[in-house]
């Protein structure tokens, strides 16, 4: 029996679904080891264990702070675990115990956020680059969600590829009843769901949409996600291309509304320049949306032949690809069918089983 700490501080963030699903299935498959789950105070009463071997521990130390480097290191030393699993790269870099780290991608090392102070962001990015270089070397094993990320980390941190284990993630089917958004009923629309960071390439998507509007004057572009400073920038792009009235920013939507959006869109468009797994597109496939997608990074690996690809740096290639999905009924049917089949290849339970095997290797 081993004592394993899992860092779940980010459990209820966008990337936290990985940790939430991991904990859900670990509780089903591991009745032997004892687990201590680190949670922010605000999440302590929300997450409830279902396995008596899983215990909650309050961890107040925020990521990328001195508190994390000093306070969390001290807390881990007091807990005396046999193994710590950090679900993201951020961690006390001088902690000396056995560590497994999940690294989702290296995107933040390569893209600047234009809404942040340039000098402060540059400094933080240098720290982040160092952490992403250092952590793979100090970890006994690194877990990645795709072969692409594995190769990327090997090249970036110059480590032995044998210590990196790929555990594919999965999409979750929405079980809520589909709930129409009245303002979009009976209207043709393209759909994007996700965060609005620069690497998501939404400016080129809006430019491509403006070209498509010339042939499809009733077409809308629906952007689902938090409205923040980056979204404000994209609205300015839409105004510049004279399509602001046709770009609909919904903000957050309910699960039922999201299910309806996937099922009702003419195409889900994923123009991203950098992904570690590409969960949004896989979720769209699971809910019967035909997917038009970027050729970059891990996306062809994860989506296989179930997506219709374009060069994300070429607006006119994006236009051509989306147009083919819009006009070709047989292609749409093929993408919907193959998308469901592709999404079904992935399993959170398999991911949890593979992760438990990594723990066993690290504990030897």
**Which pLDDT score, from 0 to 100, does residue 229 have?**
76
Nearest to 212 by CA among 319, 313, 364, 336: 319
How many independent structural domains does the chain possess?
A: 2
Is there a domain that residue 255 lies in?
Answer: yes
Nearest to 315 by CA among 212, 210, 204: 204
**Which pLDDT score, from 0 to 100, does residue 124 have?**
86
The tens digit of pLDDT for each residue in 216-261 reads: 999 999 999 877 777 788 889 999 999 999 999 998 899 999 999 9
Q: Is the pLDDT of residue 115 over 80?
A: no
Is there a domain that residue 175 lies in?
Answer: no
H-helix or E-strand containing 81? none
Least confident of 55-59, 235-239, 301-305, 312-316: 235-239
Is there a domain that residue 274 lies in?
Answer: yes
User: Are 260 and 133 in a shared domain?
Assistant: no
What is the mean pLDDT of the segment spanning 94-102? 97
Is there a domain that residue 177 lies in?
Answer: no
338 three-state secondary structure: helix
User: Are 57 and 138 in a shared domain?
Assistant: yes
User: Are 354 and 308 in a shared domain?
Assistant: no
User: Are 219 and 242 in a shared domain?
Assistant: yes
User: Are 164 and 209 in a shared domain?
Assistant: no
Provide the domain limits for residue 28: 3-170+347-363
User: Are 327 and 287 in a shared domain?
Assistant: yes
Is there a domain that residue 159 lies in?
Answer: yes
What percent of the chain shows pLDDT beyond 70?
Answer: 100
CA pair distance 60, 87, nearest whole angstrom: 16
User: Are 329 and 190 in a shared domain?
Assistant: yes
The residue whose two tokens read 């809910």 is 287
User: Are 106 and 197 in a shared domain?
Assistant: no
**Which pLDDT score, from 0 to 100, does residue 333 have?**
97
What percent of the chain shows pLDDT beyond 90?
Answer: 88
User: Are 152 and 199 in a shared domain?
Assistant: no
Per-chain mean pLDDT for the chain = 95
**Which pLDDT score, from 0 to 100, does residue 121 have?**
85
What is the mean pLDDT of the segment spanning 22-44? 97
User: Are 209 and 133 in a shared domain?
Assistant: no
User: Are 204 and 297 in a shared domain?
Assistant: yes
CA pair distance 314, 266, nearest whole angstrom: 21
- Asked if residue 44 lies in contact with residue 56, where contact means CB atoms within 8 angstroms, the answer is yes
Residue 249: left (phi > 0), alpha (psi -120 to 50), or beta? Answer: beta
Is there a domain that residue 78 lies in?
Answer: yes
H-helix or E-strand containing 164? strand 164-166
Is there a domain that residue 176 lies in?
Answer: no
Q: Is the pLDDT of residue 145 over 90?
A: yes
User: Are 242 and 319 in a shared domain?
Assistant: yes
**Which pLDDT score, from 0 to 100, does residue 85 have?**
98
CATH of the domain at 17: 3.40.50.2000
* Residue 34 Cα distances to 167, 175, 206, 318, angstroms: 22, 32, 50, 50
H-helix or E-strand containing 233? helix 229-240
What is the mean pLDDT of the segment spanning 72-96? 96
Q: Is the pLDDT of residue 92 over 80?
A: yes
* Pairing, β 3-7 against β 99-102: unpaired
**Which pLDDT score, from 0 to 100, does residue 123 have?**
86
With 0-12 CB in 10 A as exposed, 13-18 as middle and 19+ as buried, what is 51?
A: middle
Q: Is the pLDDT of residue 14 over 90?
A: no
Phi/psi at 91 (5° precision): -175, 165
């Amino acid at each position: 029996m081993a004592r394993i700490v899992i860092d779940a501080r980010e459990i209820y963030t966008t990337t936290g679904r990985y940790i939430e699903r991991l904990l859900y299935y670990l509780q089903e498959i591991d009745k032997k080891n004892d687990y201590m789950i680190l949670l922010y105070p605000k999440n302590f009463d929300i997450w409830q264990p279902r396995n008596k071997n899983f215990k909650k521990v309050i961890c107040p130390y925020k990521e990328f702070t001195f508190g994390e480097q000093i306070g969390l290191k001290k807390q881990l030393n007091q807990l005396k675990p046999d193994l710590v699993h950090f679900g993201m790269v951020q961690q006390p870099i001088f902690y000396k115990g056995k560590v497994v780290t999940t690294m989702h991608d290296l995107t933040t090392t390569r893209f600047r956020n234009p809404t942040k102070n340039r000098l402060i962001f540059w400094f933080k990015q240098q720290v982040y680059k160092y952490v992403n270089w250092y952590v793979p070397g100090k970890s006994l094993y690194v877990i990645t969600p795709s072969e692409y990320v594995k190769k990327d980390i090997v090249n970036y941190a110059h480590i032995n590829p044998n210590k990196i284990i790929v555990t594919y993630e999965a999409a979750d089917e929405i079980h809520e009843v589909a709930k129409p958004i009245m303002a979009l009923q009976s209207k043709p629309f393209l759909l994007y769901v996700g965060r609005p960071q620069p690497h998501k390439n939404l400016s080129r998507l809006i430019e491509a949409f403006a070209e498509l509007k010339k042939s499809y004057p009733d077409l809308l572009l629906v952007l689902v996600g938090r409205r923040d400073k980056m979204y404000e920038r994209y609205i300015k792009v839409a105004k510049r291309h004279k399509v602001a009235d046709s770009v609909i920013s919904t903000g957050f939507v309910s699960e039922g509304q999201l299910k309806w959006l996937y099922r009702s869109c003419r195409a889900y468009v994923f123009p991203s320049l950098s992904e570690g797994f590409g969960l949004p597109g896989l979720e769209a496939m699971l809910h019967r949306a035909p997917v038009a997608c970027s050729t970059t990074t891990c996306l062809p690996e994860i989506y296989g032949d179930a997506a219709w690809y374009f060069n994300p740096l070429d607006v006119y290639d994006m236009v051509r690809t989306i147009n083919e999905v819009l006009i070709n009924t047989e292609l749409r049917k093929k993408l919907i069918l193959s998308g469901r089949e592709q999404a079904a290849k992935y399993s959170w339970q398999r991911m949890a089983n593979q992760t438990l095997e990594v723990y066993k290797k690290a504990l030897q």
